Amino acid sequence: QVQVVESGGGLVQAGGSLRLSCTASGLRFDDSAMGWFRQAPGKEREGVSCISRSADTTLYIDSVKGRFTVSRDNTQNTVYLQMNSLKPEDTAMYYCAATTRTYCSASWRNVWYYRDWGQGTQVTVSS
């Protein structure tokens, strides 16, 4: 049984930092590209970042480039999202997802690209 569990969310002031973690089990983690998504109230879930199985490819949406960094530790079955210079508009529930693909294709921002999802961790940025 696949389990994906996020942690590290919280309340932070604008300009602050948080590091999200996501641990996956029950799958071949080192064969899986991983994605981070977020969903604010009343909005659609949007892809934030994707990292390939070997971390040789990392992709971001424009609004987080230069502020967020995705990384992974395949020995720990864990992927991270370091979020710096946080803004109120980053406030959302953040989700981690695993795909059966090893790479981040041009479709990485689509929900259907991923098979397994975590329950999410809330990030709230106050102004």
Percent of the chain scored above 90 by pLDDT?
A: 100
Q: Closest Cα to residue 32, out of 12, 2, 65?
A: 2
In terms of Cβ atoms closer than 10 Å to its own Cβ (0-12, 13-18, 19+), residue 115 is middle
Residues in the chain: 127
Neighbouring C-beta atoms of residue 20, cutoff 10 Å: 23
pLDDT digits (tens, 9 = 90+) for 63-103: 999 999 999 999 999 999 999 999 999 999 999 999 999 99
